[in-house]
Structure 1
Amino acid sequence: MHRSLLSFLMAPEGGGTLTLTVSKQEGEEILEGSLTDAAGRVYPIEDGIPRLLPTELLEAQRSEIAARDSQVGDYDRMAFLNLFGKIEIPLTLKLLGPRPDDRLLEGGCGTGRMSQTLARGVKEMVAIDFSFESLRVNRKKLLAAGVTNVHLVQADLCHLPFAPGAFTRAVSCQVLEHVPGEEARRGAVSELSRVLRPSATLVLSAYKHSLFTRMFGEKEGAHDGGIPFFRFTMRELKDLLGTCFRVERITGILVYLYITQCKKH
């Protein structure tokens, strides 16, 4: 964690500033320490990653964190996902239109399937995820690649620990469908809007409820290990995003995903 992150960090519960305590530092990076909010809640910094999850989480969220942590070694070996990314990632970048002066939020980075590609086009990026183990893998990849403009934060999409208007663009790929329940999904969309500047671009993808899934799959359920999912119809996704954003483009060309390009109202 770099000290510059403090300029736009905010307590995930109740907002407000965070006080930094440093236990171990190498150069400009804080490797161990803590962040304390005004109510005295302490959030640790481990392996250079601030752990800013709220105290209260839904049971489905806790189940997902445990599953993601335990399955962290599997994601980079998923041949289909890697092949699919050769189409998905360029399309996502095209819709996002990153600029050299952007501060970009990647909402749900996992082990870094997109992180390095996204970081190349912007001045600064914050990549968040529920899974601490996934973030640790992502950190190793970024260090090995010499990428220095990415902050990694363990955070909940429904309680983003960032100041209003902190970001000029945001991207969130295959994450919203795993947020459990309509109320929580609305909260996640609201939080993405809150941390973006007016007229900022959001590119978001989510599971598509297609003819195939209507015939052979479930609209809502859980993957192995207890990872919840919800498949959207186009109308459902448009209506959800439309609470805070103007949906400018939505495509279902990628078979099992919708990819949307939105502007903050």
Structure 2
Amino acid sequence: MNLPLNSTADPSDPIVRARFNMIEQQIRPWNVLDEQVLELLEKVRREDFVPPAYRAMAFMDTEIPLLGEPEQALRLGRCMLPPRVEARMLQDLRPQPDDRVLEIGAGSGYMAALLASCTQQVVSLDIVPELAEFARRNLQRAGIGNAHVRVADGAHDALPEGPFDIIVLSGSVGEIPARLLDQLRPGGRLGAIVGDEPIMRFTLVRQVENRFEASQPWDCNAPRLLGFPEPVAFEF
């Protein structure tokens, strides 16, 4: 077993082996090849952001329930996204050291931790108070001081910390609200999983010279973020 990212890691440690397998068997094959992203995935301990009951699932290619009964948690979007999805979102958003970031859907705090490790500041919102507190505790235990979690409805509440260089929605929405695009700085990027099952697409919006350019580089289904309105269906 080769451990190319961290030569000090002990290959006999089952956590080290599981993290290595996650990166090599799930994430690299999903075209996540940015070395900065791969190093972050090794450095930020995903297992520390997983509820104790699901710690054995920390590196699995699946959504992990965070609050309440598992089926209900997944249905209500109270879960961690699969590692490969978080990694590819991070890669496509191209975080920079001086970026200010807004995350909607704090969940466990893991995505905020990844972003905070390579940017200036992260503001992470969650509409569920229990999840916001869970994320806050996890970030504090991890020693991450530049990620701040607060209870808020990202779809409707005021965003006094804006504008932002990056906005990331850690869950799916039917459409991207214009009010969030208005919170992007020049050159800013917004990433969200948009659409309806069975086909959703990761949508990357960039602000370029006072206009927005959108691309949809890959498909991925994810639970809905609470609070975001669904598009109005056209009827004849």
Q: What interval of TM-score do these two structures reach, taking the shorter chain for normalisation?
A: 0.5 to 0.7
1:165 offset after TM fit, Å? 5.0
1:156 offset after TM fit, Å? 1.1
Report the Cα distance in structure 1 between the residues aligned to 2:180 and 2:168, rounded to whole angstroms. 9
Q: For 1:197, which of 169, 185, 194 is the aligned residue?
A: 185
Count residues in correspondence: 150
Report the Cα distance in structure 1 between the residues aligned to 2:197 and 2:166, rounded to whole angstroms. 27
Aligned pair 1:141/2:129, yes or no?
no
Report the Cα distance in structure 2 between the residues aligned to 1:116 and 1:122, rounded to whole angstroms. 10
Q: Alpha carbon RMSD of aligned pairs, Å?
A: 3.5
* Correspondence 1:1-265 to 2 at 5 A: 79=57, 80-82=62-64, 85-163=82-160, 165-177=162-174, 189-206=177-194, 208-210=196-198, 245-252=212-219, 254=220, 256-257=221-222
Report the Cα distance in structure 1 between the residues aligned to 2:147 and 2:162, rounded to whole angstroms. 18
* Aligned CA distance change for structure 1 residues 175 and 108 (closer, same or farther; 3 Å): farther
Structure 2: gaps spanning 5 or more residues:
1-49, 65-79, 224-236
Which consecutive aligned stretches of 4+ in structure 1 deviate over 6 angstroms post-superposition?
Answer: 72-75
Per the alignment, in what secondary structure is the counterpart of residue 189 of structure 2?
A: strand
TM-score (norm 2): 0.53
Report the Cα distance in structure 2 between the residues aligned to 1:207 and 1:77, rounded to whole angstroms. 30
* Aligned CA distance change for structure 1 residues 207 and 74 (closer, same or farther; 3 Å): farther
* Aligned CA distance change for structure 1 residues 113 and 245 (closer, same or farther; 3 Å): same
Per the alignment, in what secondary structure is the counterpart of residue 63 of structure 2?
A: helix
Counterpart residue identity of residue 93, structure 1: L
Structure number with the bigger relative contact order (C-alpha 8 A, sep ≥ 6) is 1
Per the alignment, in what secondary structure is the counterpart of residue 174 of structure 1?
A: strand
TM-score (norm 1): 0.48
Contact 1:163–1:195 under 8 Å retained in 2: no
1:163 offset after TM fit, Å? 4.1
Q: Percent identity?
A: 25
1:76 offset after TM fit, Å? 5.5
Contact 1:208–1:257 under 8 Å retained in 2: no
Contact 1:164–1:196 under 8 Å retained in 2: no
